[in-house]
A = this chain, B = another copy of it.
């Protein structure tokens, strides 16, 4: 299914080094079980927590992973790989196990969001695309939830597809922002494919193409009688509002009542107050005010703090590009191979070895107190966050619907300390590394020091 949906999910959508490493693994018969975990190293500035998202697309990718004849033929034509590898790739399927935090789970740095346990070539090959899928949806859900926290009672709509980074980014943005509590997205395909409600009315071009603004509004209302939201800032926002006020009764009588006006430019605080007054004075308190134009969670917060009478926001470019933090420092790292725990020690990039679990502990008032990062087999008090989702390459449950994921994030937010829910930076809860995990890390370091090659040293 997902191959039809997205052939960019070709197995060749990977980094070349995955294939050159696979050549080495296959040549050496190194196909034992590998354990990789995906985690974020640190929070970017301007984020107090992260939201797990994208698991559904990650599982689709794993389920559908295979090299077709054309791909094998092309790989052969590059001359980079021997037949041994090509034969291996032709038969390769993802046969491993996956544990993951369910989508909508709040999480913090160093906590694995997803673990893959599979024969080394499979587990290695999937790295690039798994990160590509999960990084973006986590990034966007973690950005979008901030707008929702800034405006919990307002209608929020994702408007960003056009300046999202490509087709898939637009689609993932619609999905991730909906998970984060948005009412929907302007992206039509996201309604068809994901069930994210589509929102939208008119652009300035519609007004410009008509000889008069009033005529444009009339035409639009008659064509979309259930969805009359009129864009009033093409020429002069207040004049536009007065036109709407003047024609609202007539349109209502015609069966196409005006639901809202949209403002997309200018001083939205002042204009929304003036427009509200114009509409109210004309006896139309039922006509809402919807705003868009370079918005983000900070702008939304400031507008509401200034008392702007705005009922909904279309949030686009800055949301869909996560402009204040356009990437996360995330990684997918080998934690165990052939039954032996492993650890990367590169400067500033050391990792915790082994198969891990995160236990979430709450205060007496039900708020998140701290997380315990430990080994999978070291049971701790609290709620374990990683759950089995795939075994032997098969899903353990059907895809979750987005309503379930939204409800999960709701419950998660209810448990978050208030400080974390503000836009201002706050100290995240402690992620305690359990003694069992620390002991394993020390063991790995000792073993690595012993078995690492003797230094060639002064011979050079």
A34 lies within 8 A of chain B by Cβ: yes
Given A169-B166, A323-B326, also A17-B209 (CB < 8 A): no
Closest partner residue, chain B, to A284 (CB atom):
B460
Q: Which residues of B contact A265 (CB under 8 A)?
A: 346-349
Q: Which residues of B contact A128 (CB under 8 A)?
A: 161-162
- Least CB distance from A409 to B in Å reads 21
Chain A stretch 307-356: residues in CB contact (< 8 A) with chain B: 317-318, 321-323, 326-328, 330, 333-334, 337-338, 342-349
- Least CB distance from A44 to B in Å reads 10
How many copies of this chain are found per oligomer? 2
- Least CB distance from A81 to B in Å reads 9
- Partner pick for A326 among B5, B28, B322, CB 8 A cutoff: B322
- Give the size category of A's interface with B: 35 or more
- Decide: B15 and A161 in contact? CB cutoff 8 A: yes
- Decide: A209 and B13 in contact? CB cutoff 8 A: no
A440 lies within 8 A of chain B by Cβ: no
- Decide: B323 and A327 in contact? CB cutoff 8 A: yes
A124 lies within 8 A of chain B by Cβ: yes
- Decide: B120 and A135 in contact? CB cutoff 8 A: no
In the complex, besides A124-B203, A127-B205, A209-B338, 5 extra interface pairs with C-beta distance below 8 angstroms are A6-B7, A10-B189, A132-B170, A235-B452, A318-B327
What CA separation (Å) do A145 and B203 show in the bound complex? 34
- Least CB distance from A222 to B in Å reads 7
A379 lies within 8 A of chain B by Cβ: no
Closest partner residue, chain B, to A212 (CB atom):
B453
Q: Which residues of B contact A227 (CB under 8 A)?
A: 20, 80
A387 lies within 8 A of chain B by Cβ: no
Q: Which residues of B contact A171 (CB under 8 A)?
A: 8, 13, 166
A200 lies within 8 A of chain B by Cβ: yes
Which of A238-246, A392-400, A431-439 lies at the interface with chain B? A238-246
Which of A100-108, A148-156, A213-221, A367-375 lies at the interface with chain B? A213-221
**Interface residues, chain A, with chain B CB atoms under 8 Å away:** 4-10, 12-21, 23-25, 27-28, 30, 34, 36, 71, 74, 78, 80, 120, 124, 127-129, 131-133, 135-136, 139, 159, 161-172, 186-189, 191-192, 198-206, 208-215, 219-220, 222-224, 226-227, 233-236, 239, 242-243, 245-246, 264-267, 278, 281-282, 317-318, 321-323, 326-328, 330, 333-334, 337-338, 342-349, 448, 451-453, 455-457, 459-460
What CA separation (Å) do A440 and B71 show in the bound complex? 55
The 3 closest A-B pairs by CB, nearest first: A16-B200, A166-B168, A165-B165
Q: Which residues of B contact A191 (CB under 8 A)?
A: 78
Given A167-B8, A345-B235, A346-B233, also A245-B456 (CB < 8 A): yes
Given A30-B209, A233-B346, A242-B455, also A17-B132 (CB < 8 A): no
- Decide: B163 and A165 in contact? CB cutoff 8 A: no
- Decide: B131 and A246 in contact? CB cutoff 8 A: no
- Decide: A327 and B163 in contact? CB cutoff 8 A: yes
Q: Which residues of B contact A204 (CB under 8 A)?
A: 333-334, 344, 346
Closest partner residue, chain B, to A455 (CB atom):
B239
What CA separation (Å) do A394 and B323 show in the bound complex? 37
What CA separation (Å) do A211 and B212 show in the bound complex? 76
